[in-house]
Amino acid sequence: MPYLTVSHRGHHRFEVNVEGHQLIVDEGLAAGGRDTGPTPTELLAASLASCAAAYAESYLSSRGYPTAGLSITCHYQLSTDYPRRVASIDVTVTAPFEVSNEHRHSLLKAVENCLVGNTLRVPPSIHIMLVATEETRV
């Protein structure tokens, strides 16, 4: 099972370690952070966009099409009601060449089936536990 850890680094800043890879997650200045990395919400959108890109690349390369110039843009909108959440996400695939109507549908279908997109459409169960060591109990 994949494993990651998140360690507090002060002022709404966290270091995420994912199987040997590190990245910084931070809040913007207005939220009390230092804006030294993407926010958790931005990472959610980035996860979807990068998954879509990987599926698009796989589709194109498996058919011998060029992938240089492939790009994905992603915009998200937050909810205005409660609970606070991402209310919508728009993903746009820019192919590196003019895609025929036949392949356009298949390419979009491939991208729509990316693992992260499927996970957001059929959310997993989430289990949250709280543990504290003797030294940190207050």
pLDDT, tens digit (0-9, with 9 covering 90-100), for 60-77: 999 999 999 999 999 999
Split at pLDDT 50, 70, 90, the class of 58 is very high
Q: pTM of the prediction?
A: 0.91
- What whole-number distance in Å separates Cα of residue 50 and Cα of residue 30? 27
Q: Do residues 97 and 29 both lie within one domain?
A: no
- Whether residue 137 lies inside any domain: the answer is no
- Whether residue 63 lies inside any domain: the answer is yes
Q: Mind giving me the DSSP string for 20-58?
A: TEEEEE---GGGTS--SS--HHHHHHHHHHHHHHHHHHH
Residues listed for the chain? 138
Q: Do residues 30 and 61 both lie within one domain?
A: no
Q: Do residues 97 and 65 both lie within one domain?
A: yes
As for how many domains the chain has, the answer is 2
Q: Do residues 52 and 21 both lie within one domain?
A: no
Q: Do residues 54 and 83 both lie within one domain?
A: yes
Domain that residue 13 falls in: 1-37
- Whether residue 132 lies inside any domain: the answer is no
- Whether residue 129 lies inside any domain: the answer is no
Q: Do residues 20 and 45 both lie within one domain?
A: no
Q: Do residues 33 and 52 both lie within one domain?
A: no
Q: Do residues 60 and 113 both lie within one domain?
A: yes
Q: Do residues 75 and 31 both lie within one domain?
A: no
Give the model's pLDDT for residue 105: 94
Q: Do residues 65 and 100 both lie within one domain?
A: yes
Rg (alpha carbons) of the chain, rounded to whole number: 19
pLDDT for residue 137 is more than 80: no
Give the tens place of pLDDT for each residue, 9-49. Answer: 999 999 999 999 999 999 999 999 999 999 999 999 999 99
The CATH number linked to 62 is 3.30.300.20
